[in-house]
Structure 1
Amino acid sequence: MAPRANWKGFLRLSLVTCPVALYPATSESEKISFNQLNRQTGHRIKYLKVDADTGDEVPNEDIVKGYELEKGQFIEVTKEELEELALESTRTIEIDEFVDKVDIDPRYLIRPYYLRPDGKVGHDAFAVIRETIREMNKVAIGRVVLTNREHIIALEAMDKGLVGTLLRYPYEVRSEQEYFDEIQDVKVTKDMLDLAKHIVNQKAGNFDPEKFEDHYESALVELINQKRAGKVIRPKERPKGENVVDLMEALRRSVGKEAPSEAATAKKKSEKKPRKAAAGQKEMLMPIAGKKQAKMTTTAKPRRRSA
């Protein structure tokens, strides 16, 4: 079962329209998350919405949005007033133009979504739009309203559906000159560049997400398992960085370091794809029926342990 749609409406290319649904293409729910606890009691911390002046708790129905004009002076905006804005993109993704993918600056990319037909009707129109985008090898640019904000969305064909990536507006992207102006102009010699290129060639490969492991997540799993087993947690020695005195010598040593031996090459070919879960994670994290997020399960009531 696919997750619940974040948005439902219509996709329109000129006079061709079809009902569609928008789904999140990524998830972080499988990552380990922590609760905040009272160190003294071990109880969870609860957050309340309170009046900043009186300290009284305020029920949700009495909370409205406000824009601060000056310190302590607000203009209230109600939910009904926001809905009255009634932008066309609230219910329809209108394709405005088609562009080359290479023209989209990666700094403008926010997050991806999956787009598919909503219901049993409109599959023919959806297929026409999808195949047009695919055959033209273009990215369709439109607009969509999510979480009360209008976003630019870039649509690409993927398999039988579309991938829509939200894009930032120009005012949301900071100028690189704010950070790069003070970088010194350095002359890189051909010898240095040749050595660096050699290192790149030695480390060249194909992008495969399955090769990547979240080492921090694996370390969290190991830490939690050790604490659950009552083991003493000892701090590990942090690696120390070394100052590069002779850049050419460092590059030469790097070339030797990155050169793969025959044994290492044979071992790499024989290795299977890395496991997605860290060692011990399967034992600690058990799936709960109906949920993707893995939860820790214990046979007894958990007690707080200190390192």
Structure 2
Amino acid sequence: MHTMWKGSISFGLVNIPVNLHSATENKDIALRNLHKECHTPIKYEKVCPVCETEISQDDIVKGYEYTKNKFVVLDEEDLKSIKDEKEDKTVEIVDFIKLEEIDPIYFDKSYYLSPNDGGTKAYALLREALKDTNKIGLAKITIRSKEHLAVVRFYKNTLVMETIFFPDEVREVKEVPNVPEQVNIEAKELDTAKLLIDQLTTEFEPSKYQDDYRTALMELIERKKNGEEIVTAKATRKEDNVTDLMEALEKSLKQTNKKKTSTTRKKTTKKKTTSKTG
């Protein structure tokens, strides 16, 4: 597993040398933009619209637009002075809290932490302490010149660090348009909705979920690569003509019951077949 950062975890006077590894990977299928006529990848050039000339990397500086077309220009020395000041290779745990106190809206990216040379015992100590106390460490870390708030927690015998957004990076809920304040909901509608939720409630099994679009796209790519002719019939959308909320809930319950009955029958048949085979 690729090491993307080396540093240490610190809490109190304890210092643990660690390596940081990305815990997730983006499996989006990358599609290139090609010229329709000759299928050559399109080249994107950096051009100044005023000077009408192509710009090299050496001709580019950073700037902050504080008002329309007005910029504060920051050169490499300006940025380096702050970078050097903040580039401490430490996951500094400042507090210990309970995981449930952080709303999921704050979570950003996940990373695995592994012990570096000489850090095995201290790593195991922190791991077991977090596991036994059911707490997580709230920390600060700088990655690629950006300071992050993060949590360090126990996960499947490993320490995981997850970057989280700062409070001012999470937009206010009141900014969301058209959210109803108070709506008169019939007791029967609410009870039926709760019943539907109960019917659809199950244990979380990550392995049963997959990216259907990505799978279909890869199958399409393979078929086209093998020279197959692609003909797709348009699917006819079934109209339920359900306009009443209560009617929609009741129909959903019936469909859910049918699916559960079908699944139960399949499981029973499978068990009988297995018993006869055995």
TM-score (normalizing by structure 2): 0.85
Partner of 1:95: 93
1:152 partnered with 2:158: no
Q: Percent identity?
A: 33
Flag the 1:66–1:243 CA change in 2: closer, same or farther, 3 A: farther
In the alignment, residue 73 of structure 2 is paired with which amino acid? E
Partner of 2:159: 162
Q: Retained in 2: the 8 A contact 1:227–1:233?
A: no
Matches within 5 A, 1:1-307: 2-3=1-2, 5-28=3-26, 30-85=27-82, 86-88=84-86, 90-118=88-116, 120-179=117-176, 182-183=179-180, 185-228=182-225, 229-234=227-232, 236-237=234-235, 239=237, 244-260=242-258, 262-268=261-267
Aligned partner of residue 95 in structure 1, secondary structure: strand
Q: Retained in 1: the 8 A contact 2:86–2:145?
A: no
Partner of 2:274: none
Q: Retained in 1: the 8 A contact 2:87–2:145?
A: no
Aligned partner of residue 161 in structure 2, secondary structure: strand
In the alignment, residue 146 of structure 2 is paired with which amino acid? R
Number of residue pairs aligned between Structure 1 and Structure 2 = 267
In the alignment, residue 25 of structure 2 is paired with which amino acid? S
Flag the 1:20–1:185 CA change in 2: closer, same or farther, 3 A: same
Aligned partner of residue 259 in structure 1, secondary structure: helix
Q: Retained in 2: the 8 A contact 1:11–1:92?
A: yes
Flag the 1:224–1:124 CA change in 2: closer, same or farther, 3 A: same
Displacement of 1:63: 2.6
CA offset digits 1:244-303 (Å, max 9, x no partner): 4222222222222111464431325778xxxxxxxxxxxxxxxxxxxxxxxxxxxxxxxx
Aligned partner of residue 245 in structure 1, secondary structure: coil
Displacement of 1:219: 2.0
In the alignment, residue 7 of structure 1 is paired with which amino acid? W
Alpha-carbon distance between aligned partners in 2 of 1:149 and 1:263, rounded to the nearest angstrom: 52
Aligned partner of residue 163 in structure 1, secondary structure: strand
Q: Retained in 1: the 8 A contact 2:149–2:164?
A: yes
Q: Retained in 2: the 8 A contact 1:115–1:163?
A: yes
Displacement of 1:207: 0.4
Alpha-carbon distance between aligned partners in 2 of 1:77 and 1:90, rounded to the nearest angstrom: 22
Displacement of 1:94: 1.0
Displacement of 1:52: 3.4
Structure 1: 5+ residue runs without aligned partners? Answer: 272-307
Displacement of 1:181: 5.9
Alpha-carbon distance between aligned partners in 1 of 2:222 and 2:159, rounded to the nearest angstrom: 41
Alpha-carbon distance between aligned partners in 2 of 1:175 and 1:240, rounded to the nearest angstrom: 39
Alpha-carbon distance between aligned partners in 2 of 1:127 and 1:95, rounded to the nearest angstrom: 16
Structure with the higher helix share, 1 or 2: 2
Partner of 2:276: none
In the alignment, residue 43 of structure 1 is paired with which amino acid? T
RMSD: 2.5
Flag the 1:18–1:61 CA change in 2: closer, same or farther, 3 A: farther
CA offset digits 1:74-106 (Å, max 9, x no partner): 333233432322345631111100111111021
Aligned partner of residue 235 in structure 2, secondary structure: coil
Alpha-carbon distance between aligned partners in 1 of 2:33 and 2:261, rounded to the nearest angstrom: 50
Structure 2: 5+ residue runs without aligned partners? Answer: 271-278
Flag the 1:270–1:157 CA change in 2: closer, same or farther, 3 A: farther
Displacement of 1:42: 0.9
In the alignment, residue 266 of structure 1 is paired with which amino acid? R
